[in-house]
A and B are shown apart, each in its own frame.
Chain A
Amino acid sequence: AQSVTQLGSHVSVSEGALVLLRCNYSSSVPPYLFWYVQYPNQGLQLLLKYTTGATLVKGINGFEAEFKKSETSFHLTKPSAHMSDAAEYFCAVSDKGRDDKIIFGKGTRLHILP
C-alpha cells in the first residue's frame, strides 16, 4: 500500500530564508509524486509533480523538489521564503498506470516570520 509521511506538522522560517519541507513515501510500484499547496479556505493547487524523467522538478512560485529513489524522499525546497508562501503544503503519491487516486500526507503548515 502506498503512504506518505510529512515530517513536521508546522515549520517556521524567516522571510528570505531557505524553505525545506520533508516528505517520504512508500510505494510498491514506481510512483507519481506531487506537492500541493492550500491557502486558507481554498482548494488545492498543484505546485509540482514528478512522473518520469529528470529527478529534480521545478514548480510554480520558485519551488522545486528532488525525487530520491534510494531515500524514498521527495522534499520540497525554495531558496528564499516570501510572506505569501505561508500556507498548508501536502505531499502526495499515486500509482503509475492505474486510476488517479492520490494518497496525501497529513500536511505541513508553513509559517513565514517577518
Chain B
Amino acid sequence: ETGVTQSPTHLIKTRGQQVTLRCSSQSGHNTVSWYQQALGQGPQFIFQYYREEENGRGNFPPRFSGLQFPNYSSELNVNALELDDSALYLCASSLDSRNYNEQFFGPGTRLTVL
C-alpha cells in the first residue's frame, strides 16, 4: 500500500509568481485535504476535495485554488505569490469525508517565496 506522496519536496519562487503543488492520495482514498503550516505554527486548513469537488474551505483567499482528478490525486495552485505564503504545505488523504475517517498526511512541500 502506497502512502501519501507530495511533489516537489522543496520549491523557491519569487513574489507575484504562480505555483502548483501536487499530491497523490493513499490507495483507495477519495478525499484530499490541504493544509498550510507556517514556521512555528500549527497547520491551517486550506480546503478539501471529495470526489473531484470542493467540500469545505478555510479562511484563505481565492488565489488559493485546487483540483482533484479522477484518480483522486490533487493539485494546490497559488497565484500572485506573497512573502507570507512561504510555508510547508501538507496534503492529507482519507477514505470518505462523509463520516470520520483518519487523515493520512504526506511529507509536505516546503515553499519559499522571495
**Residue contact A100 to B97, C-beta cutoff 8 Å:** yes
Interfacial chain A residues near B43, Cβ < 8 Å:
44, 90, 102, 104
Interfacial chain A residues near B94, Cβ < 8 Å:
100
> Does B48 belong to the interface (CB within 8 Å)?
yes
Q: Mark A53-78, 1 if CB is under 8 A from B, else 0.
A: 00000000000000000000000000
Measured CA separation A42–B105 after assembly (Å): 10
Most buried by A among B33, B50, B105: B105
Interfacial chain B residues near A102, Cβ < 8 Å:
33, 35, 43, 45, 103
**Residue contact B33 to A100, C-beta cutoff 8 Å:** yes
**Residue contact A100 to B58, C-beta cutoff 8 Å:** no
**Residue contact A101 to B58, C-beta cutoff 8 Å:** yes
Q: Using known A-B contacts A32-B100, A43-B90, A51-B100, determine if residue A104 contacts B106 with beta carbons closer than 8 Å.
A: no
Chain A minimum-CB-distance residue to B41: A106
> Does B66 belong to the interface (CB within 8 Å)?
no
**Residue contact A100 to B42, C-beta cutoff 8 Å:** no
**Residue contact B90 to A103, C-beta cutoff 8 Å:** no
Interfacial chain B residues near A113, Cβ < 8 Å:
none
Q: Other CB < 8 Å A-B pairs besides A94-B100, A99-B50, A104-B44, 9 of them?
A: A42-B107, A43-B105, A43-B106, A44-B92, A92-B42, A99-B48, A99-B97, A102-B43, A103-B45
Q: Which 6 A-B pairs have the closest CB atoms?
A: A104-B42, A99-B56, A43-B105, A44-B105, A43-B107, A101-B45
B-to-A contact residues, CB < 8 Å = 4, 31, 33, 35, 40-45, 48, 50, 55-56, 58, 90, 92, 94, 97, 99-108
